Chains A and B, each alone.
Chain A
Amino acid sequence: MLEACDITYAHPGAAPLYRGFSLSVAPDERVAISAPSGFGKTTLCRLLAGYERPQKGEVLVDGEPLPKRGVCPVQMIWQHPETAVDPRMRMANTLAEAGEVPDRLLDDLGIRRTWLSRYPHELSGGELQRFCIARALAVRPRYLVADEISTMLDAVTQAQIWRFLVAETERRGIGLVLVSHSPALAERVATRVVRLDAEEAAFPPSLS
C-alpha cells in the first residue's frame, strides 16, 4: 500500500496546497489524480516519489517511510522526458542508470537498438519517454507515478504506451498513480479517480 498520511505541503512563501491530505493506493490499483492547473498535481507526484518531503504528515510504502538512500520503491515518470535525462549522456548510459535493463522491456516498449547510441536531442519526445519508462520499470519499483506522460504523444503512441503500462503493472503487481488532463484517458486507464479540488469519485475499471 502506498499511503500519503495527512500531508501538508506549501511552496516556500505560498499558501499550503493541501492540508491534511490523505491518499492510499493498493498495488492492484490505478488511481488518476484530477484537478485544474495550479492545484498541485505535479507537487503531489513529487511528494509521493520522494522528491519533496511534506512539512507535516508522511508518505509510507507498505508501512515504511520512503528510504533516504538507495533506489526508491516509488518511481516517477515525468511530463517532459527531455528534462528527465542528462542531455550530455548517450541513451545507453541513461538506461544504465537503472542497472541491467532486460531486453524484453526494450522490445515491448519498441526501443530500437540504434537509438541507444544517440543523445537525447536526437530523439523525439515519444521516443525519449519510452526510455524514461524503461528506466523506471527496470529498478523493480512497487509503485509508479505517471505525471501527464502522454501529453506530447499522438493518439496511436499514447494508446500503445498506456496499453503496455497497464499490462506490465498488472502483471508485476505495481500500483499506478497517474495524472492526465484528458478525462477520457483517465476513464480508460484508471480504476479510481481522485479529485484534488472536490470529493473523491469512483468508477469501475473500463479497460478490457
Chain B
Amino acid sequence: MEDRTRMQDESQALRAAELDAVSEALLAAHDHERTSHADAQKHHHHTHAPVSHHEHGHHLLQVEDLSVGFRMYEEDAPFFRARQRVVEVIHRLSISVHVGEIVAVVGASGSGKTLLADAILGLFEPNATACGRIWYDGELQDAASLAERRGNGISLVPQSVNHLDPLMKVGRQVEGFARADVPHAERARHRERLFARYGLSEDAADLYPHQLSGGMARRVLLCCALMDDPRLIIADEPTPGLDLDLAVRALGDFRDFADAGGGVLLITHDIELALRVADRVAVFKDGTVVEETAVANFASPDTLEHPFSRELWHALPEHDFAVPPASPCEGDGGAQSLGQS
C-alpha cells in the first residue's frame, strides 16, 4: 500500500487543489501531538463523543481517503469480448477510532462494509487495488505492516461460528498454535482466564463449534480475538441471529473492552443495536462514509447532516418506518437506486 500511497500522492501533487487537502491532513496529524479536543468539536470530518480522547495525541486508528477497487470483467458484454475494468467499491473513505470508544459503521447490507474491515486487516484479494492512508497508533501503515498488525494489535471478531474449524474443539482452537515467543502452556492459561472472565465453563472448551449455542459462540469468537491482547477490535456483523437480549450482552462485552482502553470498530447494519452501545456512528453509503457523528445526534433527525442518515432514522420501526420517496417498493420502477441493498 505504501507504493500506491506514494504514487497517489505524486498524482495528487499535479492537482493543486487536492495538494492542499493532503498537506492539511498530514499537518493535522502532527497537530494532534499538541492539541487537545473539546467534546463534540468537529475535526477530521467527525465530531467527538464524550469518551473520545486522543492518547499520546493521536487516533488509535485513522483511515483517510481509502479507496478499494476490483479488477473485473465487464458483466454485460458477451463472454469472449468482455474486457477487464476496475470497479471501485470503496471511494475515498475516512474514518477514525479513538481510544476507549466504539465506532459503529452502519449502512446498507452488502454495500462493501466488510471490505473496509479487510483493508484495515491488510487482507486484499489478488484482484484488488487499494490506495489511501491508514494510521495505526500514530504510525502510517502499508500493506505489509497491516498484515503484521493482524493478531498483533488489531484483531477481528468474525460474523459467525462458520469461521471456526468445525472439526476442532473450541478450547484448542482459541488457544491457537504455540508461537516461538509464547509457550503453549502460557496460551492455555490465558485461554482459561478469558473463558472464566466471559462466563464460559471449562467444559465448553471440550465442545465442537456446532455444539455451541448462539450466545456461547459469540463469546468464543470474542475470546479468539482477545487471545492476542489487541488494542483494536474489528467486529464484523457480530449480532445477526442473536435475540435482542443476547445481542445486547454481546455488545456489552465490546463496551467493557473499550472501557478498558481499547478501541472497537463495529461493522453492522443493525442501527438500533449500534445506537445502544456505540459512542459514535459512521453512516456508510455507496462505498464511503457520508457522516461520522456522535450517537447523541441520532436522537433527532434535525441533528443529522446527511440525507441518508435521516432516511435511516425515519426508516426505523420505532420512528416513522418510512420509505424514502424514490423507493422501488413503492411502485414506480425506480429500481436503479437499489443496487446496494
Contacts and interface: CB of A to CB of B under 8 A. Distances in A.
Contacts of B246: 37
Interface stretch (A49-57, A61-69, A147-155): A147-155
Interface in A169-184: 181-184
B341 A124 contact: yes
The interface size bin for chain A is 35 or more
Residue among B269, B315, B329 with max Cβ neighbours from chain A (10 Å): B329
Contacts of A126: 108-110, 341
Contacts of A157: 108-109, 341
Contacts of A207: 321
Interface string A162-196: 11100000000000000001111101110000000
Output the residue of A79, A153, A163, A181 with the most chain B CB within 10 A: A181
A125 interface: yes
Q: Which residue of B76, B214, B240 has the most chain A CB atoms within 10 A of its CB atom?
A: B240
B245 to A, nearest CB: 6
Interface string B308-331: 000110011110011110011111
A161 B329 contact: yes
A187 B317 contact: yes
Nearest to A164: B329
Interface size class for chain B? 35 or more
B324 A156 contact: yes
A36 B245 contact: yes
A37 B214 CA distance: 8
B242 interface: yes
A130 B312 CA distance: 20
Main DSSP-derived SS at the A contact region: helix
B110 A127 contact: yes
B199 interface: no
B110 A184 contact: no
A110 interface: yes
Nearest to A41: B243
B242 A37 contact: yes
A159 B315 contact: yes
8 contacts: A37-B213, A112-B339, A156-B324, A157-B108, A159-B317, A159-B323, A160-B329, A163-B321
Interface of B: 75-76, 106-110, 213-215, 240-247, 269-272, 311-312, 315-318, 321-324, 327-331, 333, 335, 338-341
Interface of A: 36-38, 79, 107-112, 114, 124-127, 130, 151-164, 181-185, 187-189, 207
